[in-house]
Amino acid sequence: MSNFWKQISRPIIALAPMEDVTDTVFRELIRSVSDPEVLNVLFTEFTSTDGLCNEIGRKNVSSRLVVSDSEREWLTITNTRLVAQIWGSDPDKFRKSAQLISEMGQFDGIDINMGCPVKKVVKNKSCSALINYPELAREIIVATKEGTKLPVSVKTRLGFNEVITEKWIGNLLDESPAAITIHGRTQKMQSQGEAMWDEIGKAVQLKKERKSETLILGNGDVDSYAVALQHIADFGVDGVMVGTGVFKNPWMFNKSLSEISMKMRIDLLTKHIKLYDLTWGKTQNYNVLKRFFKIYLNGFQGAAHWRDQLMHTKSCDEALEVIYRIS
């Protein structure tokens, strides 16, 4: 199977994997309002290898790897690539998970989470904790590659308690992943402070010195397409991954829009609610949907009132009733 990272058009602009955010519904929604030539890589929510390798656990985590028929249609039409992200600490479970994901036939690549800073996963030697266990990190990359013919990439940070860019990224480059996405902060920083793009630039230089074919993507504090392009120009990365910046403007991957009207915001929110209900029904917690209300309902008079009304709803039907009543 071919490595799409080598074939994809540049610049590479990716939507980051985000917990309780980048499910099949949100991915389809963002894809539907983006220019095909701008946003070209999407990631799933991060999925536990422990869960995937356990029959009972698999049922609990399987929703994270759902690709709806309507999303698949969008992906095909726009030639957008979809990558499944996994996390854990056991190389053997990474191997088995990679095999399972490959057999699904839904994904173009597999990404290893070595960047999430949440304490409950870090204490289990997972995600950003792997920065402190470089040999284990390499074993995980090797095992994942053994389980799949899909390209294997890594998302990580600059260090754990301190910045160790060259040492840590050099360790990952030793195993030649298809791509490395670097969040410009340490684990200790969480999401605080300014992303250190100069350090990401050092990783690019290291890659060049080694004549490595691994792509380097940067992540952190990117809240517009213009900023993404500027970082690519300034720091020489192969692409940029956008995370929470999309919350400020879901249309940020659409170059042709100069203004976002109140009607556009309400229409997209309505579409999100309907698609969420159609896709998940009663199988997912409705309250997860509430975190998106502020994304759409801001920047116009009365937005706070709309949000307050919607935050008190208990179902998709109730939310749609509120929207129809107020509008």
- Select from 246, 214, 213 the least CA-distant residue to 228: 246
Q: Which domains does the chain have, with CATH numbers?
A: 4-248 (3.20.20.70), 262-326 (no CATH)
Q: Given the structure tokens 């935050």, which residue do they identify?
A: 311
What is the mean pLDDT of the segment spanning 144-155?
A: 98
Predicted pLDDT at 301: 87
Do residues 23 and 64 make contact, with C-beta atoms less than 8 angstroms apart?
yes
pLDDT confidence of residue 220: 98
Q: Are 276 and 317 in contact (CB under 8 A)?
A: no
Confirm whether 127 is a catalytic residue.
no
Closest residue by Cα to residue 102 from 55, 144, 155:
144
| Under 8 Å between Cβ of 317 and 281 | no
pTM reported for the whole predicted model: 0.96
Query: Residues with Cβ < 8 Å from 185, sequence gap 6 or more?
Result: 157, 158, 191, 192, 193, 195, 196, 220
pLDDT by residue (tens digit) across 13-70? 999 999 999 999 999 999 999 998 999 999 999 999 999 999 887 888 999 999 999 9
Specify the pLDDT at position 1. 65
pLDDT tens, residue by residue, 238-293: 999 999 999 999 999 999 888 899 999 999 999 999 999 999 998 999 999 999 99
Task: Choose, from 53, 116, 127, 316, the residue flagged as catalytic.
Answer: 116
Q: What percent of the chain is predicted at pLDDT more than 90?
A: 90
* pLDDT mean across residues, the chain: 95
Average pLDDT over residues 106-132: 96
The Cα–Cα gap between 163 and 184 comes to 9
Tokens encoding 257 = 């829009």
